[in-house]
Structure 1
Amino acid sequence: MDNSIILVTGSNTGLGLEIVRALFRSLKAYTVLLGSRSEANAKSVVHQLQAEFPNSETIVSSVQVDLEDDESIQKAFNYVSRRFGRVDQGWPKATGSITAYRASKTGMNMMMRGWTRILKHDGVKTFCVSPGFLATGLGGNQERNREMGAIDPAIGAEFIREVVEGFRDKDEGMVVRRDGIQPW
């Protein structure tokens, strides 16, 4: 298996699904692990993507994983280790309340900075990616979000694909946005 193996969690809806679609639209072939809390939902989306992109060389496989459940994470790790042997990139994407979301983003920024320092010598690139205000289910109502200026999640997903494919490597260790670097 020569394709880069990319795990995208929360990928049966919203931005996660659009990230997977963006990878399918790429000229590069990937092995995408579509992570979802619901195995049935993940398998349904796998079939949907295979029908939507019948000529793609990208391979997609479902992985049941709940990022709030340590046992689920361990089972997913064991499954991926046995079946694929590695993950080249991980895109953990999970949502919650707006307050939790904001707090988690702040914590994620600090965690990324720590990982950058620790993992740089191992050749691991770390980024926090801010795809913009997207019309997803976060905050409840997608249409209301659109009325407030949210953009289509596919636009954010294409930006994330650019990061995956190395177009923003010069910004490694930073919070990257479509229009540049997020100031601290």
Structure 2
Amino acid sequence: MSKIVLITGSNTGIGLEIVKALAGASKPYTILMGGRTPQKVHDAISTVQKQLPTTSSTFTPIQVDIESDASIDQAFAEVQSKYGKLDILVNNAGAHFDQQLITGKLAISAREMWNKTWNVNTTGTHILTSTFAPLLLQGSDPRLLFITSGTSTLAGTEDPAIPLNWVPPKGWPKTGFNAPAYRSAKTGLNMLMREWYRWLKEDGVKVFAISPGYLATGLGGDPDFSRRMGAQDPASSSVGSFIRSVIEGQRDADAGKVINKDGVQEW
């Protein structure tokens, strides 16, 4: 029987690359493609089926908005009714609102932006994981993945090669490219991963945080800006195959850590 994988935010960016990588595997997966907008998920499924017409994996759209408890509960009820278990949960859904606030694309207050950033990247992820945990414990060799960020490392804040670590000139206000809300939320997500690693250790669930590298996704609302800052296109990166390798057990020795394709990311 194929393993059942739920991927949130699966219709674009890193999530879609994970779907493609699993669909291209030698063994089949039952891929539950989570997303807020059903039509976008259906379109993504069509894209994958056209690109990989011989895949033996199957795709099921799951409508879920991780900012909504009701949406999470409805998605859980659907998965529980159809499958009764979950083998892999990939918490991929996330968002970066800092720049959207700075540029005026997001018409909310700074406090609302910070709360929304944590709600999407950390709080909502925790609520969804808590809701689906009973199904995960029914899975075969269950795995729980959290997609974090290379910008979340505390040690890495001293690395001048990371664009977000630039030091602005003295004076106020401070302007330019920055993402304190996003970075803080993803650092919080790393601690959340550690908590889930501890909570589920005796249940045999392998838990990881995945640092995918700097990729030009729709995460911050402007992929072109990310490309100008040096981000790689997700489709031309190895992010999908890397995450598939974690799902398939190749990084089990690093469970409980933040990992990237080159090793373990510093805390």
Into which bin does the TM-score normalised by the smaller protein fall? over 0.9
**What is the rounded CA distance, in whole Å, between the counterparts of 1:151 and 1:183 in structure 2?**
22
- Which stretch of structure 1 is more off in the superposition, 147-156 or 71-80? 147-156
Aligned to 1:136: 217
State the distance in 2 between where 1:95 and 1:39 align.
17
Tell me by how many angstroms 1:153 deviates.
1.4
Partner of 1:158: 241
Greater RCO structure (CA 8 Å; 6+ sep): 1
CA deviation after TM superposition for structure 1 residue 183, in Å: 1.3
C-alpha distance in 2 between matches for 1:20 and 1:100: 28
Would you say how many aligned residue pairs link Structure 1 and Structure 2? 183
Residues 100-145 of structure 1: CA deviation (Å, up to 9, x unaligned):
4322211111111111112111100100000100111123332332
SS of aligned partner of 1:61: strand
Return the match for 2:187 from 88, 101, 106: 106
| Range 65-74 or range 103-112, more displaced | 103-112
Distance 2:58 2:79 in 1: 14
- Displacement of 1:171: 0.2
Question: What is aligned with 1:16?
Answer: 15
Structure 1 equivalent of residue 226 of structure 2:
145
Report how far residue 13 of structure 1 moved.
1.0
5 Å-filtered alignment, 1:66-81, equals 66-81=65-80
Going from structure 1 to structure 2, the CA distance change for 1:76 and 1:100 (only over 3 Å counts) comes to farther
RMSD: 1.4
Question: 1:38-117 to 2 correspondence within 5 Å?
Answer: 38-96=37-95, 97-98=97-98, 99-117=180-198
- Partners of 2:186 and 2:195 lie apart in 1 by 14
| Structure 1 runs of 4+ with >6 Å offset | none
Residues 1:183 and 2:182 aligned together = no
Deviates more, 1:165-174 or 1:149-158: 149-158
Q: Which amino acid aligns with 2:54?
A: N
Is 118-127 or 46-55 further displaced after alignment? 46-55
Asked if structure 2 preserves the Cα contact closer than 8 Å seen for 1:95 and 1:101, the reply is: no
Q: Give aligned-pair identity as a percent.
A: 48
Letter in 2 for 1:67: I
TM-score normalized by the length of structure 2 = 0.65
Cα offset for 1:18? 1.0
Cα distance between partner residues in 2 of 1:119 and 1:41: 33
* Bigger Cα Rg: 2
**Gaps spanning 5+ residues in structure 1: where?**
none
Q: Could you tell me which amino acid in structure 2 is paired with residue 16 of structure 1?
A: G
- Note the residue ranges of structure 2 that are not aligned, 5 or more in a row: 99-179
